[in-house]
Chain A
Amino acid sequence: MTLLNYIVVNIIETLLRVLPIPCKKGMTKIGKPNRMSPVFLTCNYHLTVKRVKRTLHGIDCYLLVANSNGHNVWCGATGGHFTSHDVISVLKTSGIEKLVGHNNVILPQLAATGIEAKYIQKKTGWKVIWGPVYAKDIQAFIENNLKKTIEMREVRFSLVQRIEMAIMWAFPFSIIASLITIYFWLEVLLPLNELIWGLPFIIFVSFPFYSKWLNPKKKGIGFSKYTVIFDFARMPLILWGLSLFCLFGFSIMTNALSWEFIFRWGFLSFIVILIISLDLMGSTPILKSGLHEDRFLKVVLDERKCKGAGFCEQVCPKNCYEVNKKQHIATIPGAEKCVQCGACIVQCPFDALYFMSPKDERLPPATVRTFKLNLIGKRLKETEQNVRSLEEKVSFEGHQRIGHPR
């Protein structure tokens, strides 16, 4: 019965993946925990809690569910819905302090983009331990004395996850498209739905085959405002070409070749591709899409500030970092794998990391910690403005002091 319930919840909430689905916050006991049992903390996205509880089955522990307004851990933390305040709140108000004799709390690693371990320790005395990325690794993580292996730290974009993403995009759009076409254009209902379901599946499932050609460093033909159009020269346009090719083939084979047919279906498939590629940052494999001015942000390490503490290495979901414990310095040999999640910048206790844009605009750690990645392009301009107005002020004062040359 519980298994059936679990399967049904998984199916429904995978279909509705775009929507935040909150569940009850607070503390749950799992098994028979004692004063030394581990304390896990997660967000209040219903599906996440369901899955975490299932993997924790058999481990005597406490599970704290903190408010994230029903968003998942990575999106919630990076978008400012799952914050240090939410973690502090559940630690202080759930009564967990009285139940355990230690103060270590295990958080999912992906929460590191928005939750500041240092701030939580200062406010509550609880020490944050960054757990594995995937809940399924928790058992091994505990057996390994709360130490993560390299594999446990890495976000992979497995086939199952890619299929889930395809469903997440296809389902709501197919519902909306169906509701519209049922009234206006009934005969298009079935083929349109095939298109809406087919294209995301092609894009996501075939990702490993084309991802190596998606080089974020190559700027392509377009620039500035026009990148929106020209960036389609990357994947979506190729896909559109493919779908047009299939349309031609289909129409020739069925003897129905006409400009109207090609135009109508070409247009529809273009719209579908446009919608699917509309908001790609983070949510789809085509990572650095043209709609985002922040796509070329680079994480820069200030070697003078780095003391090799290794927090960056612990939270990087792409294993970009290498820490030399002897020389007390970190390096970023895997910089090209970076997904710009900002976790390392947020967690570095010495503020040794920051974002830099191709135009040499800097985004300091304080800004990333405050606003996470929300409207990061706007913040770039703002910090640049601040710097400029500061420079103007300084140069103005300088002029005053020197006086007019004449």
Chain B
Amino acid sequence: MKVLESAPDRYDAGIRILTLGKLDKAYDRLTSCIKSGQKVLDIGCGTGALTLRAAQKGASVKGIDVNVQMIEIAQKRAIKMKVAQNVEFCEMGVAELDSEKSENYDIVMSGLCFSELSEDELIYALKEVKRILKPKGLLLVADEARPDSLSKKMLNWLIKFPLVIITYILTQTTTKAVENLPETTEKAGFLIESVGLNKIGNFIELIGKKL
């Protein structure tokens, strides 16, 4: 269907509605620790929201995603923002991270991607991330989360439900929530530097460190 085929063009708009604009701020906070000259990997770069932020700071960034149409948009945006020389996009899934060299990156980041993975995939991805990070390298994650208490769950559902419907009709975009991210990250051998949840508890920002 034509509507679904051109959906990646409308992905950014969809995400903006779903996250009520909070995503931009979260991404700014998350990328604030990136310095010029660092080597950064963006897992699930999509249309390049995180990749381009890091590139603007002068880091050399590799963005990977399984959706070529999204990468195409990201590439165009990189050229428009004049950071194309700092970025490299690659059509690749998390299960193909084994082709990356060990201890190659200062920072690995991921926005709204871990929630798309199954439990097996997340464990595999974290294991690979740990391998490709340099010692004391950072893992930055921003993603939708599942609220822990029942009242917050209800509140989240009430707010989210109409948004999800509207966004799907307009842009065929949906997001999922990642479960037990801090626990899984810790189990994978990372030191949790900081975990930030918003008030309703449906959005998580996590910084992990490779020991």
Q: Is the CB of B68 within 8 A of A370?
A: yes
Per-position 1/0 for B122-149, Cβ under 8 A of A: 0110000000000000000000000000
26 pairs, CB–CB < 8 Å, chain A vs chain B: A26-B119, A67-B116, A79-B4, A80-B67, A80-B69, A83-B66, A83-B93, A85-B66, A85-B92, A85-B93, A85-B95, A85-B96, A88-B95, A88-B96, A89-B95, A91-B95, A92-B98, A93-B95, A93-B118, A94-B120, A95-B120, A123-B96, A279-B1, A291-B2, A370-B91, A375-B2
Per-position 1/0 for B75-109, Cβ under 8 A of A: 00000000000000001111110100000000000
Cα distance A79–B123 in the bound complex, in angstroms: 28
Tally chain B residues at the interface, Cβ within 8 Å. 24
Q: Is the CB of B94 within 8 A of A374?
A: no
Q: Is the CB of B66 within 8 A of A86?
A: yes
Cα distance A90–B98 in the bound complex, in angstroms: 14
| Minimum distance in angstroms from B79 CB to a CB of chain A | 16
| Minimum distance in angstroms from A65 CB to a CB of chain B | 9
User: Which of chain A's residues have a CB closer than 8 A to the CB of B93?
Assistant: 83, 85-86, 88-89
Cα distance A388–B151 in the bound complex, in angstroms: 61
Q: Does residue A215 face the partner (Cβ distance < 8 Å to B)?
A: no
Q: Is the CB of A374 within 8 A of B1?
A: no
Q: Is the CB of A93 within 8 A of B66?
A: no
Q: Does residue A157 face the partner (Cβ distance < 8 Å to B)?
A: no
Cα distance A370–B121 in the bound complex, in angstroms: 23
Q: Does residue A25 face the partner (Cβ distance < 8 Å to B)?
A: yes
Q: Is the CB of A79 within 8 A of B2?
A: no
| Minimum distance in angstroms from B44 CB to a CB of chain A | 11
Q: Is the CB of A279 within 8 A of B3?
A: yes
Q: Does residue B6 face the partner (Cβ distance < 8 Å to A)?
A: yes
| Minimum distance in angstroms from B39 CB to a CB of chain A | 23
User: Which of chain A's residues have a CB closer than 8 A to the CB of B66?
Assistant: 83, 85-86
- Chain A interface (Cβ within 8 Å of chain B)? 24-26, 67, 79-80, 83, 85-86, 88-89, 91-95, 123, 279, 281, 283, 291, 370-371, 373-375
User: Which of chain A's residues have a CB closer than 8 A to the CB of B123?
Assistant: 93
Q: Is the CB of A79 within 8 A of B95?
A: no
| Minimum distance in angstroms from A115 CB to a CB of chain B | 12
The closest CB in chain A to the CB of B168 belongs to A19
Cα distance A93–B5 in the bound complex, in angstroms: 29
Interface of B is mostly: helix
Known: A25-B118, A80-B69, A83-B66. A89 touches B94 (CB 8 A): yes
- Chain B interface (Cβ within 8 Å of chain A)? 1-6, 66-69, 91-96, 98, 116, 118-121, 123-124
Cα distance A279–B5 in the bound complex, in angstroms: 12
User: Which of chain A's residues have a CB closer than 8 A to the CB of B4?
Assistant: 79
| Minimum distance in angstroms from A402 CB to a CB of chain B | 34
Which one, B1, B120, B121, contacts A283 given CB within 8 A? Answer: B1
| Minimum distance in angstroms from B4 CB to a CB of chain A | 6
User: Which of chain A's residues have a CB closer than 8 A to the CB of B6?
Assistant: 375
Q: Is the CB of B118 within 8 A of A79?
A: no
Cα distance A279–B3 in the bound complex, in angstroms: 9
Known: A79-B4, A85-B95, A279-B1. A374 touches B121 (CB 8 A): no
Cα distance A374–B4 in the bound complex, in angstroms: 9
User: Which of chain B's residues have a CB closer than 8 A to the CB of A91?
Assistant: 95
Cα distance A92–B116 in the bound complex, in angstroms: 17
User: Which of chain A's residues have a CB closer than 8 A to the CB of B121?
Assistant: 25, 89, 93
Cα distance A374–B172 in the bound complex, in angstroms: 15
Cα distance A162–B162 in the bound complex, in angstroms: 33
User: Which of chain A's residues have a CB closer than 8 A to the CB of B2?
Assistant: 279, 281, 291, 375
Cα distance A88–B4 in the bound complex, in angstroms: 24
* Most chain A beta-carbon contacts within 10 A, residue among B6, B93, B124: B93
User: Which of chain B's residues have a CB closer than 8 A to the CB of A123?
Assistant: 96
Which one, B69, B92, B118, B119, contacts A374 given CB within 8 A? Answer: B69
* Most chain A beta-carbon contacts within 10 A, residue among B92, B116, B118, B119: B118
The closest CB in chain A to the CB of B123 belongs to A93
Q: Is the CB of B118 within 8 A of A67?
A: yes
Cα distance A89–B120 in the bound complex, in angstroms: 9
Nearest 5 Cβ contacts at the A-B interface: A85-B93, A89-B95, A93-B120, A85-B66, A93-B124
User: Which of chain B's residues have a CB closer than 8 A to the CB of A83?
Assistant: 66, 93
Q: Is the CB of A26 within 8 A of B118?
A: yes
The closest CB in chain A to the CB of B93 belongs to A85
Which one, B68, B119, B124, contacts A371 given CB within 8 A? Answer: B68
User: Which of chain B's residues have a CB closer than 8 A to the CB of A25?
Assistant: 118, 120-121
